[in-house]
Structure 1
Amino acid sequence: MAGRNFTVSKLMIGLILTFISLTMLVPILNLFAKAFSDPGKVHLLHGYDIWPKGFSIVNFQVVLGNPIIGRALFNSLFVTVVGTALSIFFTTITAYVLTRKNLVGKTPIMIVLIVIMIFEPGIVQEYMVVKDLNLLDNLWSMVLYRVINVYYLIIMMRFIEEIPDSLLEAAKMDGAGHLTIFARIVLPLSRIPLLTIGMFYAVMKWNEFFKSSIFLSSRDNTVLQVLLRQFVVEGDSATLVGAANLLQNNQIAQLDFGALKAATIVVAMVPILMLYPIILKYYTNGVMDGGIKE
C-alpha cells in the first residue's frame, strides 16, 4: 500500500511539474509561431498555438534589417560578453584575496561589502558617479556597472575555500606566488563556479534595461532591451517601421505588429537561451557544490 501511495504521489508531482513547464513553454513557442507565421495568417493563431500558420521570415527581415536594431544587438552582445568576462575575472580574483587567511582587515571589508549588498545606492548617486567618470552615453558605463556582484562574490569565495590548503601550500613551497597560484591552480579548479557565476552575470548584463535607458541616451549607444521595451511595452512602432529599406511601405503596413513584437522578442531572447544548453549540465552541480559541507 505504501508503495502504491508513493507511485501516486510521484505521478501527481510529475503532472504538476509538467503543467508548470507547459505554462512557461507554450507562451515561448507561441511567440516563435507568431514570428514565423505568414503575415496574412497571423490572425488565425490563438494564444495556445505552437505551430506557425504558413511560414515566413518577413518579420525577421524587418527587425534585423533595421540598422538601429542591428546596432542595438551588437551593443548588447558587447556589453554582455565584455562585461561578463571582466566580472568573472574581478569577482574571482577578489574572492581569492578575501579567502586568504592572513589578509589584514578581512572582517571589516566583508562587513562593508555585505552592507553594500543590502543597502544599494540610489539611482541619483549612481548617475552622478557615471557622470563624473565621463561615461554617460558610453557602453563602458554598462560594462563596468556592478562589475562585481557581492552575492556572486560570496558564492565564489565559498568555492575557493573548498580548495585544499595543502595544495596551495605545496605550490608556495615550490616558489609559486599568488598570481601563479591563482592562474594555475585556483582557476583550473574553479571551472564549475566560473560557469555558474558566468551565467548569472551574462543573464544580468543581457537583461539590464533600466540603467541602460538612464546611462545611454543616443540611438547609436542604446541596447536591444531598451528598444524592446520601447516597442513591445510602450508601443513605439515607429522604431521598427523605420526599417522599410527592405520592404515597400504598403507591405510594412500589411504586417501584423503583434507578429513583429514576437519577432523582436525572439531576437532578444535567442542569444541568451543559447547559453543555457552549454552550461545547464554544470549549473546544478555548481550551485550544490557551493552549499555547506560537513
Structure 2
Amino acid sequence: MFRRKVTLSKVMIGFILSALTLSMFVPIMNLIARALSNPDKVHLLHGYEIWPRGFSLIHFQVVLSNSLVSKALLNSLFITVAGTCLSIFFTTIAAYVLTRKIVGKTPLMIFLIIIMIFEPGIVQEYMVIKDLHLLDSLWSMVLYRMINVYYLIIMMRFLEEIPVSLIEAAKIDGAGHMTMFMKIVMPLARIPLLTIGMFYAVAKWNEFFKSSIFLSSRDNTVLQVLLRQFVVERDSSALIGTADLLKNNNIAQLDFSSLKAATIVIAIIPFLMLYPIILKHYTSGVMEGGVKE
C-alpha cells in the first residue's frame, strides 16, 4: 500500500493553514451565533463562542423589516450582478482583440499599463460621472471601472493558450470574429471567466467609498454604505423603522451588538453561498473539448 511521506514542512504548512482558517471561520461563526441567539440570552455569549444561545430569527426580522435595508440590498445586488456581467463581457472581448494581430498593440498595452499604475484621482472621476449625468444613479457604480487592466492581462494570458488550430478551423468554415468569440473563446475560457468574475463581483459588492460619493439619496444607497453607518458609526437612525419596532414590541428589545451581527451576516451571506458553487468548477480543465496538437 502506498503511503505518503509526512515531513516537518508539511506539518508546519498544515498547521499554518489551519490557523488561518480558524482565524477567519471563528469570527464569522461568532457573528452568526449572536444573530441567531434568543434576545434574552445574548448576554450569555462570551468571547468568540460559535454556538448560539437558544434560537431566534428576530434580529434578522428587525433588520429586514426595514424598507431602507431591503432597498439597499436590492441596489447592491443589481450593481453586483449587472456590473459583473458587463465587466466579464467587455474584459473578455477586449482580451480577445488584444490577443489578435492588430496595429498599434504595443503602444495600446503600454497606455493601459500606465493607467493601471497611475490611477485617476477622485476629483477627476467625480467630474466624469457628473458630465455623464450619472450622479445618484446606480449605473454610475455599474459602469465604474468596468474593465480592470490587471484582470484584462490575466484573461489575455488564458486566451493565448487557446489552440490556433481552433481559430483557423473556424475561419475556414466562414466564422466571423463575433462567432468565434461567442462559440469558441467563451466556452473554452470558463475557468478564467469564473476567476475574474469572482474578483469583479467581490469588488462591486464591497465598494463603499465611491458609492458614498456617487450615490447621495437614500433610495439609491447600497448595503455597504448603510452597514458602515449602522455598524461602524453606530448610527441607529440609519435604520428607519427599527426604533419604532423596539418601542412597540417588547419581545424586540434587542441588544445592539446582535443587530449589528445580523446586519453583517446579511451583507456577507450572498458570497458565503456563492463560493462553494463557484469553486466546484475549478476542478475541471480549461481546455476540455479542445483539439490535440
Give your verdict on TM over 0.5: yes
The alpha-carbon distance between structure 1 residues 5 and 88, as it changes in their structure 2 partners (threshold 3 A), is: closer
Matches within 5 A, 1:1-294: 6-101=6-101, 103-240=102-239, 242-243=241-242, 248-249=247-248, 251=250, 254-283=253-282
Cα distance, 1:270 vs structure 2: 0.2
Counterpart CA distance in 2 for 1:212 and 1:284 is 35
Counterpart CA distance in 2 for 1:283 and 1:147 is 24
CA contact (8 A) 1:199 1:275 kept: no
Cα distance, 1:196 vs structure 2: 0.8
Counterpart CA distance in 2 for 1:124 and 1:284 is 44
Match of 2:291 in 1: none
Counterpart CA distance in 2 for 1:85 and 1:4 is 43
Counterpart CA distance in 1 for 2:245 and 2:131 is 42
The alpha-carbon distance between structure 1 residues 169 and 4, as it changes in their structure 2 partners (threshold 3 A), is: closer
Unaligned ranges ≥5, structure 2: 287-293
Cα distance, 1:223 vs structure 2: 0.4
Cα distance, 1:48 vs structure 2: 1.7
The alpha-carbon distance between structure 1 residues 64 and 96, as it changes in their structure 2 partners (threshold 3 A), is: same
AA paired with 2:160? E
List structure 1 runs of 4+ shifted beyond 4 angstroms: 3-6, 244-248, 283-287
AA paired with 1:152? Y
CA contact (8 A) 1:86 1:147 kept: yes
Q: TM-score normalized by structure 2?
A: 0.92
For residues 70-100 of structure 1, give each alpha carbon's deviation from its aligned partner in whole angstroms, at most 9, with x where no partner exists.
Answer: 0000000000000000000000100000110
Cα distance, 1:43 vs structure 2: 1.2
Counterpart CA distance in 2 for 1:149 and 1:53 is 45
Cα distance, 1:252 vs structure 2: 7.8
SS in 1 for 2:175: coil
Q: TM-score normalized by structure 1?
A: 0.91
For residues 14-68 of structure 1, give each alpha carbon's deviation from its aligned partner in whole angstroms, at most 9, with x where no partner exists.
Answer: 2232122111110000000000011111111112200111111111011100000
C-alpha RMSD over aligned residues: 2.1
CA contact (8 A) 2:58 2:252 kept: no
Unaligned ranges ≥5, structure 1: 288-294
Which region of structure 1 is more displaced relative to structure 2, 247-256 or 182-191?
Answer: 247-256
Cα distance, 1:273 vs structure 2: 1.6
Counterpart CA distance in 2 for 1:31 and 1:248 is 25
Counterpart CA distance in 1 for 2:119 and 2:32 is 37
CA contact (8 A) 1:26 1:48 kept: yes
Q: How many residues align?
A: 284
The alpha-carbon distance between structure 1 residues 178 and 204, as it changes in their structure 2 partners (threshold 3 A), is: same
Cα distance, 1:275 vs structure 2: 1.4
Q: Percent identity?
A: 76
CA contact (8 A) 2:39 2:252 kept: no
The alpha-carbon distance between structure 1 residues 281 and 67, as it changes in their structure 2 partners (threshold 3 A), is: same
CA contact (8 A) 1:84 1:198 kept: yes
SS in 2 for 1:274: helix
Counterpart CA distance in 2 for 1:283 and 1:177 is 30
Counterpart CA distance in 1 for 2:213 and 2:239 is 22
